[in-house]
Amino acid sequence: MTRATKKLRIFVADDHELVRRGIRGLLRTRPGWKVVGEAANGREAVVRTSKLKPDVVIVDISMPDLDGLQATRRIREAVPTTEVVVLTMHESDHMVRRVLDAGALGYVLKSDLATQLIRAVNNVSEGKLFLTPRVSDIVLKGFLTNGNQSDPKEHSQVRPTSREVEIIRLLAEGKPNKEIAGKLGITVRTVETHRAKIMHKLGLHSLAELIHYAIRHKIFTTLSATE
């Protein structure tokens, strides 16, 4: 049974009660999904999710006592199996980079909350990257327009092997090492070794940079997944 068909345990962190109430109402429309806890600030979110270990955490980027980015980093460190959806008002590729670097897989604009949150939770629960469509368009256009200026090593004709291309694609899709190992018929340790070599070879330092590379080279061209 996959996460998409089993019950999902979800945690909500936002400093506004009305927003949390609205999110609860949206999530209740999905059978089997349950809000197991809430927090009004980042520090409380980290403490409570560390104990509850939910499948997905929905985090507002602007919260007191640890903002959403700081909270996301700590949550991912404490509970690596928990995926994070970040809520924000910012429509920029710069903020997307920061969110991905913090370890989140979901990026939803607050203005798109009612139409996109369910899709975001559904996708990140399966380990898939999700960006609000409007932001996805902005980011994709920006990456394709400026791609040739952002990676000095690309001018030295460094190119990944076919196996490395497949691993880059799976990593860019948000697949965990264990799932990649199963798909490719190799060990988790081998995946980790490939990943380290790829990052060094291409001069990349984070998942965000790897996703940028994958988009520029048409290895991974869609950022917002569908249900």
- Residue ranges of domains in the chain: 8-140, 150-216
User: So what's the pLDDT on residue 214?
Assistant: 81
**At the topology level of CATH, where does 8-140 sit?**
Rossmann fold (3.40.50)
pLDDT at 148: 45
Distance in angstroms (rounded) separating the CA atoms of residues 103 and 153? 25
Please list the ranges in the chain whose pLDDT falls under 50. Answer: 1-4, 144, 148-156, 222-227
This prediction has a pTM of 0.71
Pairwise CA distance, residues 136 & 93, whole Å: 9
Nearest-CA neighbor of 109 among 88, 92, 129?
88
Instruction: Give the position of tokens 């490939």.
Output: 194
Q: Which amino acid is at 115?
A: T
CATH 3.40.50.150 for domain 150-216, yes or no, is no
Amino acid 88: pLDDT: 93
Residue 128 falls in which region: left (phi positive, over 0), alpha (psi -120 to 50) or beta: beta
